[in-house]
Chains A and B, each alone.
Chain A
Amino acid sequence: MEKLSFRLTAARSAGGSRAQAIVGVVASGNLEVLLERTSPADTCTIEIATAAHGFGAVWDAVVRDFVARRPAGGLRISINDGGARPDTVALRLAQGVRKIEEPER
């Protein structure tokens, strides 16, 4: 497994009050994304364990776009990746933020 790690400045922090959220499943072409509200409000950390080696540059681009476009501040994001395509990764990250911003029941 290849391990990658990013620490980025986020313009906006994630809304809502949930402490954590999880989306996705680890399977071929899929990934799970665990989001925990444990980072400073202006920071987003992303840790990735991936079965597909050598795609560091692509992860970099996907992760940076995500932090630029979505309210990712305050989040520690941990990913277990089963070889998903970049568009699936972007989708899960967006789904994760939406989930953690959901009002608590």
Chain B
Amino acid sequence: MTQVAANNVSLSWYEASARQRIDALVDAGSFCEYIGPELREISPHLSIFDLPEQFDDGIVIGHGRLDGTPVLIAAQEGRFMGGAFGEVHGAKLTGLLRAARALRQDVLILFDTGGVRLQEANAGELAIAEIMRAVIELRRAGLSVVGLIGGRAGCYGGGSLIAGTCSRLIVSEQGRISVSGPEVIETNRGIEEFDSRDRALVWRTMGGKHRYLIGGADTFVDDEALAFRQAAIDALKIKRGCDTNVLEAEQNRLERRLQRFGEAEDAVDIWQTLGIDAPTEIPALPTDAFLRAAKRRENADDAR
């Protein structure tokens, strides 16, 4: 008989470290780390660049219980190298996902990443591909992979591709999801197209509220560990496989969405088209008011 006890201390998800997030997310005392820092599985590449290493290579993996149910968890540390994927970092997540299939357990991925490390580009990109494959194989076996996004580094590059393969995504206002980051867009397309210093624009384009409204995320929560925990518990109750039907539904959803909103110049135009009252007020709304206003959002419930 397992003891189920939630951590009831308030914690800002955005401010928290990877380990603090895991601690706050799972049932008290239920987390057991795999390949912990004492094993010193560090990056074999960073020392070539004379860069500091971290004992866990910036990702914490292990198992725990969520409201009594066993789950596997991975949490990226967004402050170490921007949470970016490297060889060991990536391998830990790949291995966790493959273990999940063998153990027949769901997985929670706490994303906080700028993408792939430049210093470990090849290994990092390979890892992204392996991880995406592992996620799909896990889902085809009938299990869930739930992504939680709300940290300082956001969820960019290869991380956002992985997020795109997850069964459900939970996002807070601080979270951002995009393949290309603001500076990259500005460099490639010019400041007229995208001013990366216009932070309100960045958040309208790739931030948590917009992603929720446009069907890029399934649940929107406060920047609060308990809110993420409850959302994860709820998300895991939804079972969805990953067969050709699901993929076709997702493809159709994306095509429809592109058709409907492709001409929009700014997220506010999209929100307007969605039929939201006072779309320009959306960024300033507190969570409950936002969720009420967001009733007309795009969702991916019959797809993904």
A: residues with CB less than 8 A from B are 1, 20, 22, 25-27, 30, 32, 34, 36, 49-51, 78, 80-82, 105
Contacts and interface: CB of A to CB of B under 8 A. Distances in A.
11 contacts: A1-B50, A1-B52, A20-B37, A25-B79, A34-B37, A34-B55, A36-B38, A49-B52, A49-B53, A80-B54, A82-B52
A27 B79 contact: yes
A74 B77 CA distance: 29
Contact of A25 (B47, B51, B53, B80): B80
Q: Chain B, interface size: which category?
A: 10 to 19
A26 B37 contact: no
A78 B55 CA distance: 9
B275 interface: no
Given A1-B47, A20-B38, A105-B28, A32 B55 contact: yes
Most buried by A among B47, B50, B52: B52
Contact of B55 (A1, A27, A50, A80): A80
A105 B29 contact: yes
Interface of B: 17, 19, 28-29, 36-38, 47, 50-55, 77, 79-80
* Majority-rule SS of B interface residues: loop
Contact of A26 (B28, B38, B54): B54
Contacts of B79: 25, 27, 30
A51 B51 contact: yes
Nearest to A19: B38
A33 to B, nearest CB: 10
Given A1-B52, A32-B54, A80-B55, 4 more contacts: A1-B51, A25-B77, A82-B52, A105-B28
Contacts of A34: 37-38, 55
Nearest to A52: B52
A26 B80 contact: yes
A50 B29 CA distance: 33
A34 B80 CA distance: 15
